[in-house]
Structure 1
Amino acid sequence: MRRGFLSDLFTGVAVKRLTLVETISEKSNQHEFQGSKPLRHLLGDDDRKGIPTRFLRLSGEQDAMAEDGFMSWSNVRKNKPRAPEYHLYYSTNAVTERMQVDDALFIALCRDGSLLAIVTPAESTVQNQLLWLFGLHEQPMFAFTFQPIADANDAELDFVARYILDELGIAPEEPDAGALDALIEPFGLTFPTTRVLSDLARASLRDISARDDPDHALVAWMDREEQLFRRLERRIVAERIAGGFVTPDGADVDGFLSFSLSVQNRRKARAGQALENHLEAIFVAHGIQHRRGAATENRARPDFLFPGPMQYRDPGFPPERLTMLGAKSTAKDRWRQVLSEADRIADKHLLTLEPGISEHQTHEMRAKHLQLVVPTRLHATYRPAQQGWLIDLAGFLALVRARQGAAGALSNTGGR
């Protein structure tokens, strides 16, 4: 199915690191960014007043902020016999008030002429994700860099790109919505269990082989399930909104907020369950002995234990033949939960679908003896210094297979 391209949403982007004079503080009341040639490539040479702008600050899992405002692009030397000097003025808001020196600023020109201004902490995961999305290969400098969204820099809106756009609150239309709607038609206005939807996602992609390419299979299956879920969610949510949020006393604000929260929580919970479902299907396809959600110490339950709980609890079973895998669709700060889930296993593994995790976090993972497992498709979103350390799903399967083979013929009692 065709997924669209980034150029369907944006025409170009400019990025820089913020300087003191560009941030709002006691030392600066200049609410502007110095114009430059890269900004002229983005915005042109004509003055533009009151450009509708969505300001975003993205720092972490629970630290996001959005404000609607405006920017104005002006040549302050217009009609003067001197070289043009452009300034980009911005409206003060909650996002701009939190800007700090060295933060990364991305200004993207949307297809409708509006702007998207995104502020992220320097060298953060979100910054890495945006650099990859917009095809920028260097870390931001104090001067703007311009990147047109075209040709080699025009990313296809696949699973990885849509993951990042979702962080920005952007949900591109599905070009093949009709085909997806036909698949979910039997569910009507009811969510099936996650396992049922996972089974449907895999069944609808019959040309995908987990045996031949487990990394591609995992991403393709997750992508398809996300498509199916979002289409069904759109139907169900639209029906609920059409019914209104009204009580005999007036608008049901609490009911609306509760419903909105339930939508967000369902998305997060189902994504994690779907990832485990598809990983389990891959382990079965490869004949890997495993147990999902087996108890270890202190009621901890790693997502996957290899070969299984019987071997884990056997003090005579070599610990170097044991493996555990945490599975988190987004690692963020929750990856530390994995560290206490299997005391007998010194070196732990975590599979995630999160692109471009910061070097600071991956350095900490290495120090904690946690190996990150990332599908091959996502490796390019990481910095070159990180990529040599990552392993893909095929590499993880080879590791587990070697350990299970070296342990001899194991009983199926502790596995699947």
Structure 2
Amino acid sequence: MESILQKAIQSIQKSSIAFSKYITANDTGATGAHQAGFHIHKNAWQLFFKTPGKKGTNEDKFVTIKWQDDFETQSRFIYYGTGTRNEYRLTRFGKGFPYLQDDNIGDLLIIIKRTDDYYEAFVLQSDEEIDDFFAELNISSTDTNGILPRQFQQTSEDKLHDCFLAFLKSLKVDFPTTLELATNSRNCYNNAFGITQQIIKSNPDKEILNWLNTEFQLFKTIEIDRYSKRIQTPFKTVEELVETANTILNRRKSRAGKSLEHHLSEIFKTFQLDYSTQTITEDNKKPDFIFPNLEAYHNLKFDPEKLVVLASKTTCKDRWRQILNEADRVKTKHLFTLQQGISKNQLEEMYKYNVCLVVPKPYLTSFPQDFKEKILTLDSFVKIVQFKQQ
């Protein structure tokens, strides 16, 4: 029996246009907004309309949507352009619709156009499904909330592209290590766009997202170069095909898992923070970051109030519990994630167990209003560590 993920991938492959986004608190009404229904980014108007909405008017379109290859809704895609509003929403799903609940915050919504008025939609709920979706389509977790796939704009970023090609030419191995990939992509971006340490310090939340996106583009460039000839040659056996596909997918997931940690390290170095990474605490546990260092952690005379532990996970709806016993001396565990939105119930459980979320500042709007003051940005987390290290 095919999984929901497999059905979503197959549907996308058969369509001319598809869209993805994390379900947010704004969609479910958890922010206190009166208007429930999926907010669709303005750059995705062509998913439903032939022309973008015109300010000063409201426009709508009624469509049939089949959800999870199971049931259908008669839904309405509407552009609100009157008054102060300027937004697109997908509404009207009928009584008992299961995907606009608080627990759906942080799930991944996928909408695929099959005909002019018939669509398919899928909701991926587990971290593993979402990670596999990104890996299968070779898109970045930072590249959601838009049309799939979003192509790398070479024409407007010639300097960056030239740096990619120079790095590709210099490679003496099939694929660079995750650290080399992160470092070189970051250097390419910083040089191409004139990013200085002062700029990074002024907005670390913005720059880490730029680095993550640039690394993903560099990885795609290398991957295309390495596999373009191979995939044009017939595979001799099914086993050979499966082995090649698994190699590609495993490398994608491995890169994504380490990428965030590498770029966070660079942020901490830029701010001249003292820290240790991937060191061993109790029971052979390995927290991603300990501030100020492992020696201070194991020194029982060192004030535990000055110790900080940070885990980094691209998605954390299911995985946040993994960090609870990584450092017994530190009561509050900080967790940096690229997850865009988590339900109120899950957040309550996280904070009950003293897990404090840290997210890029642009992602704060994806979370329920009740928790926005509790969730830290990368900038505010750095300031807390700086204060403890004074």
Matched, 1:200 2:220: no
Partner of 1:373: helix, strand, or coil?
A: strand
Partner of 1:340: helix, strand, or coil?
A: coil
Matched, 1:162 2:162: no
> Could you tell me how far 1:266 is from its partner in structure 2?
1.5
Partner of 1:350: helix, strand, or coil?
A: strand
Partner of 1:294: helix, strand, or coil?
A: coil
The alignment yields a C-alpha RMSD, in angstroms, of 3.6
**Any stretches of 5+ residues in structure 2 without a counterpart?**
1-40, 50-57, 75-94, 101-108, 131-138
Aligned to 1:323: 308
Q: Which amino acid aligns with 1:280?
A: S
Aligned to 2:120: 117
Q: Which amino acid aligns with 2:99?
A: A
Flag the 1:374–1:70 CA change in 2: closer, same or farther, 3 A: closer
**Any stretches of 5+ residues in structure 1 without a counterpart?**
13-37, 44-50, 58-66, 74-99, 130-157, 247-251, 406-416
Matched, 1:342 2:327: yes
Q: Which amino acid aligns with 1:103?
A: P
- Paired with 1:382 and 1:359, the residues of 2 have a C-alpha distance of 8
1:227 to 197, 217, 236: 217
Quick check: 350-359 or 203-212, which moved more?
203-212
Alignment map for 1:4-403 (pairs within 5 Å): 6-7=43-44, 10-11=47-48, 41-43=61-63, 57=68, 101-104=96-99, 108=111, 110=113, 113=116, 115-120=118-123, 162-163=143-144, 170-176=148-154, 179=158, 181-185=161-165, 186-187=167-168, 190-206=174-190, 207-208=194-195, 209-246=199-236, 252-403=237-388
> Could you tell me how far 1:359 is from its partner in structure 2?
2.0
- Paired with 1:384 and 1:226, the residues of 2 have a C-alpha distance of 31
Q: Which amino acid aligns with 1:253?
A: V
Q: Quick check: 2:289–2:310 contact (8 Å CA) kept in 1?
A: yes
> Could you tell me how far 1:214 is from its partner in structure 2?
1.1
Q: Which amino acid aligns with 1:325?
A: L
- Paired with 2:389 and 2:259, the residues of 1 have a C-alpha distance of 26
Count matched residues.
Answer: 292
Flag the 1:159–1:238 CA change in 2: closer, same or farther, 3 A: closer
Q: Quick check: 2:281–2:326 contact (8 Å CA) kept in 1?
A: yes
Aligned to 2:7: none
> Could you tell me how far 1:159 is from its partner in structure 2?
6.9
More helix by share: 2
Q: Quick check: 1:312–1:322 contact (8 Å CA) kept in 2?
A: yes
TM-score by length of 2: 0.65
Q: Quick check: 2:43–2:146 contact (8 Å CA) kept in 1?
A: no
Q: Quick check: 1:42–1:109 contact (8 Å CA) kept in 2?
A: no
> Could you tell me how far 1:327 is from its partner in structure 2?
0.6
- Paired with 2:207 and 2:73, the residues of 1 have a C-alpha distance of 46
Identity %: 28
> Could you tell me how far 1:39 is from its partner in structure 2?
12
> Could you tell me how far 1:125 is from its partner in structure 2?
8.6
Greater relative contact order, per chain length (Cα 8 Å cut-off, separation 6+): 2
Partner of 2:311: helix, strand, or coil?
A: strand
Flag the 1:321–1:202 CA change in 2: closer, same or farther, 3 A: same
- Paired with 2:327 and 2:188, the residues of 1 have a C-alpha distance of 36
> Could you tell me how far 1:296 is from its partner in structure 2?
0.3
* Higher CA-based Rg: 1
- Paired with 1:107 and 1:212, the residues of 2 have a C-alpha distance of 34
Q: Deviations over 1:47-70 (max 9, x none)?
A: xxxx9x8x664xxxxxxxxx6x99
Aligned to 2:389: 404
> Could you tell me how far 1:7 is from its partner in structure 2?
2.7
Flag the 1:315–1:107 CA change in 2: closer, same or farther, 3 A: closer
Aligned to 2:23: none
Q: Quick check: 1:214–1:393 contact (8 Å CA) kept in 2?
A: yes
- Paired with 1:327 and 1:162, the residues of 2 have a C-alpha distance of 19
TM-score by length of 1: 0.62
- Paired with 1:233 and 1:324, the residues of 2 have a C-alpha distance of 34
Q: Quick check: 1:9–1:110 contact (8 Å CA) kept in 2?
A: no
> Could you tell me how far 1:224 is from its partner in structure 2?
0.9
Flag the 1:112–1:184 CA change in 2: closer, same or farther, 3 A: farther
Q: Quick check: 1:125–1:357 contact (8 Å CA) kept in 2?
A: no
Q: Which amino acid aligns with 1:117?
A: E
Aligned to 1:139: none
- Paired with 1:256 and 1:165, the residues of 2 have a C-alpha distance of 31
Flag the 1:244–1:359 CA change in 2: closer, same or farther, 3 A: farther
Q: Deviations over 1:276-315 (max 9, x none)?
A: 1111111111110001111101111100011111011111
